[in-house]
């Protein structure tokens, strides 16, 4: 008997175990579908052997990360082992200064790794520009997801320092928490206090969990592989690459397209991550809540990338003093928090500007709310709310221009085209030239603004389907994805952060 008897190509089989930087393992790939199916079978066989099941999933998670970042998976192990040992040692310390020293060491390890891989060249260029010297950029590979798993591990050590979480006694449990593959490379950033109690619970997936998991995976796959990838490849990337070649109306629609693209891409990943976790018996908190329905920039950050915004609030904004040191200090803390939040997204001035714009907007909105005597959590109603939604959406879109464009000059060109070379008369021709793109954009925004009751209805309908019906739904969606996908793999946008 040989490989040909089974119709198996040994070379292609070997490729599944070798890192390919041109084809990272992502949820929307065919390889992942087969791998997850195999994982599910073994996972069910080990359902009553908790330690073996945790070890198996941890090993798969490391393989998943290797397929995304190659040999840099060892960084994940370094962060895991160091923070596990630091937390245990810190918990034994009685003196406050000793505990501070250990949590400071955790900050040095995690932020040191993050700074080296993400900010070395940026800081080197900045220093060279200040001193008038020269700097040759180093060839440093940015490991996928390093911003996420370092923040996740930091939340554990900080919570142990604050005595909000007891340190784990088993390294396997902590390795499982840090490396759990659904959220490993692009979030959500899962808090230890939410996830650790679930690790050793008996495996149980209720019909509601299974149905919601399938629904979220289907929604995420549709958002990412159908809407986001298609409008990106066929329109958005072209406009942002050469804004001067397009009229203002094309640039504006390109900005609207990017706003939808990044939402569908990132929320699609989050939906699939939450859905996969549910199928494995674990609960993640929601990471997106229809952010473009926000009537203020403050509300937007309660709905967009919720795990990061809440992390920045709890571990940075509050640590800076929050609102406890006067109004001016509160506004400054908001700006500093968003400045660092922008820098977290990338070592580039465009991300810094993006963060600063949002920080100033948050401070201005907070000041206006205080001057108007509005209570915390107050929301406008009726026409005022709709006007707030329109203004907030366009402010967010304005900021997305600087987020997306790597060069400030290109962002200015895009704004200049919109302001001074709009040419609305080209709109009919544009719509006729890209019918599928704009139909998908319209569909995406319509689905986004539907009431939450529609999502609840969809979840119930999918949950009520028999197992065969759920399988047919996913197979049909995969068929649609295959029909419209581009030739090249389209990694998730937040893989680069």
Classify each residue of 461-494 as buried b or exposed e, where b means 16 or more C-beta atoms within 10 Å of its C-beta: ebbeeeeeebeebeeebbeebeeebeeeebbbbb
Dump pLDDT digits (tens) for 238-260.
999 999 999 999 999 999 999 99
Helix (H, G, I), strand (E, B) or coil at 231: helix
Domain end call among 199, 229, 255: 199
Taking the C-alpha atoms of residue 440 and residue 434, their distance in angstroms, rounded to an integer, is: 10
- Looking at the structure, do residues 258 and 125 belong to the same domain, yes or no? no
- Looking at the structure, do residues 213 and 138 belong to the same domain, yes or no? no
According to DSSP H, which parts of 192-287 are helical? 192-199, 207-221, 229-231, 237-241, 248-279
Angle at 224 between CA 222 and CA 228, to 5 degrees: 110
Tell me if 273 is assigned to some domain.
yes
pTM above 0.85, yes or no: yes
* Residue with more model confidence, 65 or 357: 357
User: What pLDDT is attached to residue 281?
Assistant: 92
Dump pLDDT digits (tens) for 80-99.
999 999 999 998 888 888 99
Range 285-290 average pLDDT: 91
- Looking at the structure, do residues 66 and 43 belong to the same domain, yes or no? yes
Tell me if 169 is assigned to some domain.
yes
345 is catalytic: yes
Total domains, the chain: 2
Choice among 345, 358, 423, 448 that is catalytic:
345
User: What pLDDT is attached to residue 418?
Assistant: 94
Q: Cβ neighbours of residue 442 under 8 Å, at least 6 residues apart? A: none
Residue 380 has pLDDT above 90, yes or no: no
- Looking at the structure, do residues 36 and 54 belong to the same domain, yes or no? yes
Dump pLDDT digits (tens) for 314-340.
998 888 887 787 788 888 999 999 999
Are residues 184 and 151 in contact, defined by beta-carbon separation less than 8 angstroms?
Answer: no
Residue 2 has pLDDT above 50, yes or no: no
Taking the C-alpha atoms of residue 268 and residue 288, their distance in angstroms, rounded to an integer, is: 10
User: What pLDDT is attached to residue 197?
Assistant: 92
Angle at 28 between CA 431 and CA 8, to 5 degrees: 125
Dump pLDDT digits (tens) for 17-40.
676 666 677 776 777 778 888 888
User: What pLDDT is attached to residue 474?
Assistant: 80
User: What pLDDT is attached to residue 247?
Assistant: 93
Give the torsion through C-alpha atoms of 52, 57, 61, 67, to 10 deg. Answer: 100
- Looking at the structure, do residues 234 and 186 belong to the same domain, yes or no? no
Residue 364 has pLDDT above 80, yes or no: yes
- Looking at the structure, do residues 37 and 179 belong to the same domain, yes or no? yes
| Alpha carbon of residue 84 to chain centroid | 25
The residue segments making up the domain with residue 107 are 15-199
Taking the C-alpha atoms of residue 67 and residue 338, their distance in angstroms, rounded to an integer, is: 32
- Looking at the structure, do residues 410 and 431 belong to the same domain, yes or no? yes
Tell me if 355 is assigned to some domain.
no
* Confidence grade of residue 493 (pLDDT, cut at 50, 70, 90): low
- Looking at the structure, do residues 240 and 110 belong to the same domain, yes or no? no
Mean pLDDT over each residue of the chain, to the nearest integer: 87
């Amino acid at each position: 008997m040989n490989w040909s008897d089974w119709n198996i190509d040994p070379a292609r089989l070997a490729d599944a175990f070798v890192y390919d930087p041109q084809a990272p393992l992502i949820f929307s790939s065919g390889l992942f579908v087969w791998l997850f199916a195999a994982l599910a079978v073994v996972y069910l066989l080990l359902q009553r052997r908790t330690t073996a099941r945790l070890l198996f999933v941890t090993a798969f998670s490391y393989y998943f990360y290797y397929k995304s970042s190659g040999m840099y998976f060892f960084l994940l192990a370094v962060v895991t082992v160091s923070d596990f040992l630091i937390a245990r040692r810190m918990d034994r310390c009685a003196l406050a200064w000793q505990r501070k020293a250990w949590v400071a060491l955790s900050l040095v390890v995690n932020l040191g790794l993050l700074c080296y891989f993400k900010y070395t060249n940026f800081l080197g260029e900045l220093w060279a520009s200040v001193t008038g010297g020269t700097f040759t950029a180093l060839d440093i590979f940015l490991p996928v997801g390093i911003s996420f798993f370092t923040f996740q591990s930091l939340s554990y050590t900080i919570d142990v320092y604050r005595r909000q979480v007891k340190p784990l006694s088993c390294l396997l449990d902590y390795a499982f928490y840090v490396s759990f593959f659904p959220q490993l490379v692009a979030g959500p950033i899962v808090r230890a206090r939410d996830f650790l109690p679930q690790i050793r619970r008996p495996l149980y997936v209720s019909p509601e969990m299974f149905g919601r998991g399938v629904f979220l995976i289907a929604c995420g796959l549709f958002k990412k592989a159908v809407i986001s990838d298609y409008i990106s490849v066929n329109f958005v990337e072209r406009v942002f690459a050469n804004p001067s070649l397009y009229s203002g109306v094309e640039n504006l629609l390109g900005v609207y397209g990017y706003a939808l693209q990044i939402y569908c891409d990132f929320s699609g990943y989050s939906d699939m991550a939450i859905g996969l976790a549910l199928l494995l018996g674990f609960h993640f908190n929601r990471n997106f809540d229809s952010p473009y329905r926000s009537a203020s920039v403050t509300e937007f950050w309660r709905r967009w990338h919720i795990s990061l915004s809440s992390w920045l609030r709890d571990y940075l904004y509050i640590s800076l003093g929050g609102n406890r040191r006067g109004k001016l200090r509160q506004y400054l803390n908001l700006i500093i928090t968003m400045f660092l939040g922008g820098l977290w997204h990338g070592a580039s001035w465009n991300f810094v500007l993006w963060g600063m714009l949002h920080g100033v907007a948050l401070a201005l909105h907070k000041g206006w709310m205080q001057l108007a005597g509005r209570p915390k959590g107050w929301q406008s109603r009726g026409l005022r709310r709709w006007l707030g939604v329109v203004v907030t959406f366009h402010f967010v879109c304005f900021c997305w221009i600087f987020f997306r464009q790597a060069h400030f000059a290109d962002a200015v060109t895009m704004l200049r085209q919109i302001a001074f070379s709009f040419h609305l008369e080209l709109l009919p021709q544009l719509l006729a030239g890209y019918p599928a793109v704009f139909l998908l954009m319209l569909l995406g925004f319509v689905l986004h603004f539907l009431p939450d009751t529609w999502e609840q209805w969809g979840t119930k309908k999918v949950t009520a389907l028999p197992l065969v019906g759920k399988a047919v739904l996913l197979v049909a969606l995969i068929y649609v994805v295959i029909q419209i996908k581009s030739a090249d793999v389209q990694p998730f946008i937040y893989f680069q952060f």
